[in-house]
Structures are given as C-alpha cells and as structure tokens.
Chains A and B, each alone.
Chain A
Amino acid sequence: TQLLEQSPQFLSIQEGENLTVYCNSSSVFSSLQWYRQEPGEGPVLLVTVVTGGEVKKLKRLTFQFGDARKDSSLHITAAQPGDTGLYLCAGGKDSNYQLIWGAGTKLIIKP
C-alpha cells in the first residue's frame, strides 16, 4: 500500500511566523503536487514538482522535492491570515491514473 504521510496534521501560528509542512513516503513518485483547499470548496493546485531535488517558489511559498523523489516540503515565510487553509500533497506515478493523497495539514494563521 502506498502512503503519503503529512505532518503536522494541524498547525496554528501567529501572522509573520515561518512554517514548514512535510509530506513523506517510502514510495518513489514521478511527481508531487501540492494543493490548497478552503472550507466548502474543492482543492486548487499550487505547484507540481517532478525532478528530484527540485525547488519551486511561489511568492512566500517554497516547495522542495526530495532527491530520491519520496518526500516533499512546503515552507511558508512570514505567514499571512490569507494562507489559512488545508494543504494537501499528492503523489503521482506515470504508470497509472491515480494520485496518492496525504491526509492534509490544516493551517490557521492568526492576525
């Protein structure tokens, strides 16, 4: 069974602090996607990383794919209340149609 473990499950911090969310697996993935979901809405893609060691930046968000393509991290610098939401990672393999989903990290940024 392929699993993607996300940590922490829940994080509540003050505006302006930095944080890192982790997504780990024992399986190798062709790609790792990060989604953000607001309450009552569907997830929206933030980024896809496909190369081992790849780093992508999206304003204050930095995404990294592990060298072995088994893990990924999301780092947020100077968190803002607008960053509040559920962050989901999902691993993809070229051999099938499905994504393997992590359980999510619920992030709350307090003003």
Chain B
Amino acid sequence: SQTIHQWPATLVQPVGSPLSLECTVEGTSNPNLYWYRQAAGRGLQLLFYSVGIGQISSEVPQNLSASRPQDRQFILSSKKLLLSDSGFYLCAWSEGPVGRDTQYFGPGTRLTVL
C-alpha cells in the first residue's frame, strides 16, 4: 500500500531563517506531487506541483521554491522566511495525470514564523 510522509510535524522559525520541508511517498512510482498551504480552517492554496523528477510548476510567485531530486521525494524550501509564510503545509500525491484523480495527503507540517 502507498504511504506519504512529511516532516517535521511542527516547526517554529524566526523571520529571515531558511526552510526545508520534506515529503516522501512509498509504494508507488512516478506520482504527481503537490505542495499546498492552508490557512487555519480554510481551503487549500496550491503552491507547486510536479509530474516528474526535476519538473516543477509554480502556482503562486513568492519566496518559496520546490525541488524533486528523486521520483518520490518532494522538498519545499525558502532562503528567508517571512511572517506571512506561517501556515499548515500539506504534501499530496496522485497516481493519474488528470484532475479527476484522487489526491492523497500527508499529515502536514505546522509552520510558525516569529
């Protein structure tokens, strides 16, 4: 069966510090991968998605970046965090190439920038 891992679960970082959040998927090959950010109790904002190694599409211009160094690894980074980067970050994967396919979510990372 497929599983998706995210770490760390919670993170408190000062403004201006770097960020690295990691997501890995097990039990599947060549998944579509997604990074979302969610404000408290609200919907999901798509940040990045990837359909293959080294292929990253950015949806929202900001100080975040994503990389996919391996087939089942997706990393969200920042060189200098802003207060507005605080939020709940979710990684997800889907099997198929189209929007009707189910997205499976990781447990999320709660990021607080102080």
Which residue numbers of A lie inside 8 Å of B, CB to CB?
6, 29-31, 33, 40-45, 48, 50, 86, 88, 90-104, 106
Using C-beta atoms within 8 Å of the partner chain, give the interface range for chain B.
Answer: 20 to 34
Which residue numbers of B lie inside 8 Å of A, CB to CB?
32, 41-46, 49, 51, 59, 90, 92, 94, 97-108, 110
B107:A92 contact, CB within 8 angstroms: no
Taken together as a complex, chains A and B put the C-alpha atoms of A96 and B98 apart, in Å, by 5
A26 CB, nearest partner CB in chain B, Å = 17
B42:A94 contact, CB within 8 angstroms: no
B108:A40 contact, CB within 8 angstroms: yes
B49:A98 contact, CB within 8 angstroms: yes
Q: Which of B41, B42, B46, B107 contacts A98 (CB 8 A)?
A: B46
Extra pairs beyond A43-B44, A97-B49 (6, CB < 8 Å): A41-B107, A50-B100, A88-B43, A90-B103, A92-B101, A99-B103
A48:B43 contact, CB within 8 angstroms: no
Q: Which of A30, A42, A86, A92 contacts B41 (CB 8 A)?
A: A86
CB neighbours (8 Å) of B41 from chain A are 86, 104, 106
25 A-B contacts (beta carbon < 8 Å): A30-B98, A30-B99, A30-B100, A31-B100, A33-B102, A33-B103, A40-B107, A42-B92, A42-B106, A42-B108, A43-B44, A43-B105, A45-B102, A45-B103, A48-B102, A88-B43, A90-B103, A93-B98, A95-B98, A96-B98, A97-B32, A101-B44, A101-B45, A102-B43, A103-B42
CB neighbours (8 Å) of A101 from chain B are 43-46
Taken together as a complex, chains A and B put the C-alpha atoms of A41 and B49 apart, in Å, by 20
B91 CB, nearest partner CB in chain A, Å = 8
Q: Which of A45, A91, A106 contacts B99 (CB 8 A)?
A: A91
